Structure 1
Amino acid sequence: METEIRFTHKAIVEQCKAGNSNSQYELYSRYVDAMYNVGFRFLGNAEDAEDIVQDSFVDAFKNLNNFKYESSFGAWLKRIVINKSINHLKAKRIPVVPMDAHEFHLTDEEPVEAAATDLNKVKKGIALLPDGYREIINLYLIEGYDHVEIGEILGISTSTSKSQYHRAKKKLLEIINEL
């Protein structure tokens, strides 16, 4: 089944590369909702997420010849959406601020999982985080990037990614406990 799905997607992508608009619409239909969710998690704004997703599809279709099947089409497109979302936040001048080592003392911190058993509270809490914190939480917890990758994506050091993540997690716990 996995091979069949890959082959089917490869066939659709190849048809898109040849300019087949029906295939483009099929890829769009398969991925638009998932990509909107990714954009919305980063941006927290429906209109911005819609714009980012549309721009991402346009860029993806313009650059399909650069897609080399090293990952799935969905993973490639997701990376485009994430990068565009991050660039949008940077354009709004929402910085990810480096933290000094002495500000990074979290030994008695509760894990998010233990403090927040209600998924809706967690989702609401993430939505209420400042943009920079929400960005780190999304990249690490939801999108599954490690701190080295986050550092590369955001142009920050691995240690800054780690400290920002821990500060974001601490802030998330505070928000959740207030809900």
Structure 2
Amino acid sequence: MEMDTKSLIVDIATNLFQQKGYKGVGLNEILKECKITKGSLYHHFPNGKEELLITCLRFMNEAITTDIKDILNRYPNTLEATQAMIEKLVADFDREGTIAGHTFSSMVSEMASVSEPVRNACSDLYTKIQGILSSKLVEDGFSKETAHSIALMMTASIEGGMMLCLTQKSSEPLKIISQLLPNLLNS
């Protein structure tokens, strides 16, 4: 059953971090929600809360990148795929009032004050997303350099759009980004 406890901790902690941010979640709250002892937590995560956060970030990284790859594979080009992706985010937001599962920002808005390993885990996700988008853009016929730049712009726009939706309590920002994407991709 070893693996199960660890998965459970990661699952519950990911949700807590998404809702409250890294600093907003105390160790005791994690223990209480997981119904485990401190000893059990440190058995799975010897370096404590920060190691747990990094594991949560990697877990989300897998989920998010798999999601993006699936969507990109289903559509003939980057524009249609990205618009479908944004549509899904908008639907999630309109239904639940949040888009926790797709953004790291809610978990690590305190980036500047967290450690290098945490920063690297976040950087890794954004690099991966840009890489996935970039490959699809090259398939669309963009040069490697242009694809790289557009992928960065798209990643920043969507990530920023999610933050704007959360702060404005409206899905409008993502809808606007979706409408402007053709300008970026038909240049």
Q: TM-score range by the shorter chain?
A: 0.3 to 0.5
TM-score (norm 1): 0.34
RCO higher in 1 or 2 (8 Å CA, sep ≥ 6)?
Answer: 2
